[in-house]
Structure 1
């Protein structure tokens, strides 16, 4: 009888030990492909968003990627590099060893900008973990070179291992500057932000339209947030330029080995036989070559853009201050020298020795750091020297193209170009830069000042067309009477104290009533729902910035819960609105039924709340109670003046409800000029650029809305009055008594919503 794992004679049965190895190769392929896809996604986003320093979004140095690296054996998909005893006789086997080593270099080059978004402790832990993995890979490659597992391409392996160490040193060097540059830019941003806010408030006194004012203001915020973005700061640094050059060298080394092995096969002597990885080695090689090629895009572009910044017209300009190490490179280490040790041990002499040792160690680190920076600057200077002719030619072509475009615009009297030129601002004062980057200010403005225009027009392409149709067809937006008319003060309250109102809950409730009306064409109902769906996006932005107080939280949640059911299922709580519309009742009966259902729902819950604990604070009423209370008040408000206004048909009432919804939207949107700049005021430096970008896109989307609204109302109204719907109602009550009904300027034929 054969024992499990043993032969008949009792020896170890190892005949099946190598059978799973090809599937391990597939596992390596999957890990390599995952890295390639993540790096490709970052490259795609960089091109799409016109960020040619390629910030890291999907492939960055974090716990996820480090876990992937560890699972795939030491470095990203580098299982072949650390497999010490599996024979690799064929060409593709030996090339796969080299490709996995080259991929490590590519990975580190892609990781570099991501350290700018980390906290200090996170940077330290991730860099140390990466360092351990890289050193482990290098040691294992050296062992394989010594044992003969790697018997060709030993020069290429030696060079790639050297690049690994250099890239690890560069990444560590860059990490030392992150805490200092963040602190510096935080202080500088705060000062510049105050200047920008003052200029923005002064610009609002001019006669320009609201959208143009905001566009100019956001361009200043964009330039500040963009130029102090942590990833961009690292991306334009000397060390990042050098890392891009080294990544290119690693990719070129792999390409040289692959081409030489296939085009000059006589110069190599590979062994016969088959490795345990069998057919999977070829897949590993192909996947890793693709990963190296894709992953080299971002570092190569960072290298090229950095030397382009440093060489605007000729290479000699970059020589100024080239061999000076700016203070921020070593400041963190210098501060560490001045700080005492965090612990004491032994006597005074022991502590003195420990302090001297720390000082000596940090002095050594400072010298090493300065050496890395100087070498990086030399590499940048050499790169500029070799690329200067191409850069000069490229800049000359770009200048000629600009002049031809300007000449063509003048010849055709292009008003659009004139208006575009009028929007150009002097943004040089809002460029945040480090010591030694003074010569880059003009270039950063030239290359990135039009980015705000790009995002603005990107938002303009996504304007809410259904919402705009609703606003345009309601000609009563100048007076916005619907804000005070949807809920009459004369309607008796179900409770002594009423909960606060938010913008969204009345809008959703009015839409629910409109859906329940009989005899209204189905396409008009669908168009209204689309309009409200688009409008609520902007309402939420207003509420998130201006109605953040705790008393509004529950009401806003009630509106979101209600709209989800109305939008998806046409149901108000458990009432089927379309079924109610199909019963053929009169509009008045529908309103009475909705009011009765809402009242019953309200009292049903109150009777369950025996002790009245939940009803003490109206702002903390349960969601269903808030929904029922709002429906009751709005339905009763419409019924109270139903006969006087002669709503003789559902269509007439539907038209008025659409106008009222448009008026409430209009009142809410008067807050947009105040809210859009507030979207830029994020505290964390890592979030500023994205928040400003979103604000610019939002302005592009909302430009037509701001044009539709009355400019005098947007410019002259008290911001605090505009903030909440309750403030609107109280101010309207004081100035004008509520007059529920059609405004004199609304046309019955125009209020119907068209279908695209």
Structure 2
């Protein structure tokens, strides 16, 4: 009926009204992906990692969701999209997806096996869904193909998506075997470096800053070159994917140029998406332009590595398939069925079927790797003359600038000699040796990290450490000289006595505010390293409650000048002088412990490891105050200023005794064996070395700082050492 037709038309019009805003949503999702790719590109250039590790844009639920939104137009089967801009928007969406896949290929190295399986499967479902929808449109609209604009570009874009998906899956199959090989080789290198370290320590008797820097460089080279992301970036599949991404980007460029030449505008749209189609094309074109940088540079870097290879390889070696490419598939083929099937006949049938499928997949994997090697070889053949010309020009420039290098104090050959750490470079079977310049750049990263750390040196802490004496201040926190209020005592950590002594110093009357502020800043800077040392050395977790107590107390002292809700200003007013202040703080600690013993009857609380942090902190305050009062018993108690100065010296001594473990902690960070977190750990070690350079030099000037590391790990051992010495 005419009325029904009008209603249907009105309903359809209402439903189509928000379509341009849906297009804006698609453009926004594309721009978010573009920003993430741009961040990875900027990070790669800034850190001189021209293999561009995936840090911000990686294969995960968030990126897949955004890409699914960006693929709205290719999967839309109901909207009529005949105009040029509409067809171009579909092509740009698929090329944008191809570029995204080329960008996050390296992130497979940072995933575990389960994450790889889940994410690659999700990516496959998304890509296949897009391709199937494109194929449905082509089949259903085959009668109108003669009038379909950009049909060839659409087919090529869909084919590139499928090809890149296959390459991602091929790389994913290679990752587990590669990680196992790298981990095994890394542990061998780690043992070799540890043996050399032991030999150097025996020869030198002490570890100096420059030797520690060179040692970190060794570990950094090992960590960087064995980084799974870097290994994937050097692989032939990643090189080939970069080449495919570059070709697909050129397809989009020619399509846009052709449209501009023909229509002299990019705003020729007739779909329900309206003006937003133009925004989608612009957003995704920017995404392709930004996203192509990383895959193209990876391809360029791989070819450059190939051109710098020493000696020529035979054609047979060039196309040899390394075992790690098919190892995982072979393992699956040889393993038993995960299903529990009792019937022998069906179990045999399923096992044979599984074997046939995996045999086919092994052959497909070999074909993919051979094709990728072929792409790399052809690229090398075309690029080799160009690189040879640049190499000749570079050699001539170096020849003319050699005298300039001498003026700066070191020649290029000497630089290479100093930084020749090629035996610490981890390579896979069949990989070409990294160019010397790349190795030098990797080593220079350590120096930059150390320089960055030097800019963040804790100046207040350094001035506090200049007050180091003979470490006798540790006697004042020795618990053996004060009667206990409880049958047992909690284990003692470094940070709790430091926080307690600082609380006492802050509560002393008649102390200038600027001195108290300086002490609080100094201890705050020092506690960062103290906490780091305690977390690294306390493997059993015995000191966890004591460390929590110190953290809780320090928040109140530093921010509010309060110790367990007791205002330190009020305490100093009550005391009047130093002795009365110590007595008042001691009473507050004693009251907390007595109340705890009276109120709690749980036998679990007899174990100090289970005590509340409030009680642990109160026990430390009571003991240290009593020890200070005993130290001055019978003598005239020093003035407020003198006691504050003595407390600062005690804090400096305890802090210094703890910080003698810094070298040990830095080396421990370098010895991290996990294949995934070793790079981050060595990065932290280099920064830590730069931050603490001056601290290490101060500590090396004191003979007590040269004690056996086994005797200086914990404050209890230091107290025993001081007790024997004095």
TM-score normalised over the length of structure 2: 0.91
| Stretch moving more, 278-287 or 671-680 | 278-287
- The whole-number CA distance in structure 2 between the counterparts of 1:193 and 1:649 is 55
Aligned to 2:694: 704
Say which of 38, 42, 45 aligns to 1:44.
Answer: 42
- The whole-number CA distance in structure 1 between the counterparts of 2:162 and 2:497 is 64
Secondary structure of 1:598's aligned partner: helix
Aligned to 1:101: 94
| Stretch moving more, 307-316 or 137-146 | 307-316
The answer to whether residue 719 in structure 2 is matched with residue 733 in structure 1 is no
Say which of 274, 298, 304 aligns to 2:300.
Answer: 304
- The whole-number CA distance in structure 2 between the counterparts of 1:333 and 1:306 is 26
Aligned to 2:448: 454
The answer to whether residue 251 in structure 2 is matched with residue 261 in structure 1 is no
Aligned to 2:669: 679
Give the conservation status (yes or no) of the 8 Å contact 1:209–1:711: no
Give the conservation status (yes or no) of the 8 Å contact 2:670–2:681: yes
- The whole-number CA distance in structure 2 between the counterparts of 1:734 and 1:381 is 71
Aligned to 1:211: 209
Aligned to 2:228: 230
Aligned to 1:287: 283
The answer to whether residue 527 in structure 2 is matched with residue 536 in structure 1 is yes
Give the conservation status (yes or no) of the 8 Å contact 1:218–1:452: yes
Say which of 456, 467, 476 aligns to 2:461.
Answer: 467
- The whole-number CA distance in structure 1 between the counterparts of 2:287 and 2:457 is 38
Alignment of 1:516-595 (within 5 A): 516-581=507-572, 585-595=576-586
- The whole-number CA distance in structure 2 between the counterparts of 1:542 and 1:318 is 53
Give the conservation status (yes or no) of the 8 Å contact 2:174–2:325: yes
Say which of 432, 437, 440 aligns to 2:431.
Answer: 437
Aligned to 2:107: 114
Cα distance change, pair 24–418 in 1 and its aligned pair in 2 (3 A): closer
Say which of 641, 650, 653 aligns to 1:651.
Answer: 641
- The whole-number CA distance in structure 1 between the counterparts of 2:95 and 2:62 is 21
Give the conservation status (yes or no) of the 8 Å contact 1:501–1:726: yes
Say which of 491, 496, 499 aligns to 2:487.
Answer: 496
Aligned to 1:339: 335
C-alpha distance after superposition, 1:597-621 (max 9, x if no partner) = 1111221222211x25354112321
Cα distance change, pair 320–447 in 1 and its aligned pair in 2 (3 A): farther
- The whole-number CA distance in structure 1 between the counterparts of 2:66 and 2:104 is 14
Cα distance change, pair 528–396 in 1 and its aligned pair in 2 (3 A): farther
Cα distance change, pair 579–387 in 1 and its aligned pair in 2 (3 A): farther
- The whole-number CA distance in structure 2 between the counterparts of 1:271 and 1:526 is 65
1:650 Cα deviation after fit: 2.4
The answer to whether residue 51 in structure 2 is matched with residue 53 in structure 1 is yes
Cα distance change, pair 412–67 in 1 and its aligned pair in 2 (3 A): closer
Give the conservation status (yes or no) of the 8 Å contact 1:311–1:391: yes
1:676 Cα deviation after fit: 1.0
1:334 Cα deviation after fit: 2.5
Aligned to 1:623: 613
Cα distance change, pair 272–678 in 1 and its aligned pair in 2 (3 A): closer
1:498 Cα deviation after fit: 2.0
1:187 Cα deviation after fit: 1.6
Give the conservation status (yes or no) of the 8 Å contact 1:431–1:441: no
- The whole-number CA distance in structure 1 between the counterparts of 2:456 and 2:250 is 43
Aligned to 1:123: 116
C-alpha distance after superposition, 1:36-95 (max 9, x if no partner) = 22222222222333322122222211233234444x2xxxx1101111222335443332
Aligned to 2:195: 198
1:455 Cα deviation after fit: 2.2
Aligned to 1:80: 73
Secondary structure of 1:83's aligned partner: coil
Cα distance change, pair 493–404 in 1 and its aligned pair in 2 (3 A): farther
Aligned to 1:366: 362
Alignment of 1:13-52 (within 5 A): 13-52=11-50
- The whole-number CA distance in structure 1 between the counterparts of 2:482 and 2:153 is 85
Aligned to 1:692: 682
Cα distance change, pair 124–374 in 1 and its aligned pair in 2 (3 A): same
Give the conservation status (yes or no) of the 8 Å contact 1:7–1:13: no
1:349 Cα deviation after fit: 5.6
Aligned to 1:751: none
1:246 Cα deviation after fit: 1.2
Alignment of 1:134-149 (within 5 A): 134-145=127-138, 147=141
- The whole-number CA distance in structure 1 between the counterparts of 2:705 and 2:184 is 32
- The whole-number CA distance in structure 1 between the counterparts of 2:401 and 2:570 is 61
Say which of 402, 408, 412 aligns to 2:404.
Answer: 408
Say which of 151, 171, 174 aligns to 1:177.
Answer: 174
- The whole-number CA distance in structure 2 between the counterparts of 1:566 and 1:320 is 71
Cα distance change, pair 448–20 in 1 and its aligned pair in 2 (3 A): same
The answer to whether residue 478 in structure 2 is matched with residue 484 in structure 1 is no
Between the two proteins, the alignment pairs up a number of residues equal to: 720
Secondary structure of 1:139's aligned partner: helix
The answer to whether residue 151 in structure 2 is matched with residue 158 in structure 1 is no
| Stretch moving more, 102-111 or 611-620 | 611-620
More helix by share: 2
- The whole-number CA distance in structure 1 between the counterparts of 2:160 and 2:82 is 26
| Stretch moving more, 568-577 or 645-654 | 645-654
Give the conservation status (yes or no) of the 8 Å contact 1:433–1:441: no
1:8 Cα deviation after fit: 8.3
1:633 Cα deviation after fit: 1.4
- The whole-number CA distance in structure 2 between the counterparts of 1:727 and 1:584 is 34
- The whole-number CA distance in structure 2 between the counterparts of 1:577 and 1:678 is 39
- The whole-number CA distance in structure 1 between the counterparts of 2:238 and 2:395 is 28
- The whole-number CA distance in structure 2 between the counterparts of 1:541 and 1:645 is 39
Cα distance change, pair 707–79 in 1 and its aligned pair in 2 (3 A): same
Cα distance change, pair 386–578 in 1 and its aligned pair in 2 (3 A): farther
C-alpha distance after superposition, 1:114-159 (max 9, x if no partner) = 1122222332222222112111111222334453699322222121
Aligned to 1:743: none
1:338 Cα deviation after fit: 2.8
Cα distance change, pair 362–590 in 1 and its aligned pair in 2 (3 A): same
TM-score normalised over the length of structure 1: 0.88
Alignment of 1:374-393 (within 5 A): 374-393=370-389
C-alpha distance after superposition, 1:199-218 (max 9, x if no partner) = 11111123374222322222
Say which of 74, 89, 92 aligns to 2:85.
Answer: 92
Q: List alignment gaps of at least 5 residues for structure 1.
A: 737-756
| Stretch moving more, 116-125 or 179-188 | 116-125
Give the conservation status (yes or no) of the 8 Å contact 2:224–2:230: yes
Cα distance change, pair 587–60 in 1 and its aligned pair in 2 (3 A): same
Q: List alignment gaps of at least 5 residues for structure 2.
A: none
Cα distance change, pair 530–346 in 1 and its aligned pair in 2 (3 A): closer
1:705 Cα deviation after fit: 0.9
1:403 Cα deviation after fit: 6.5
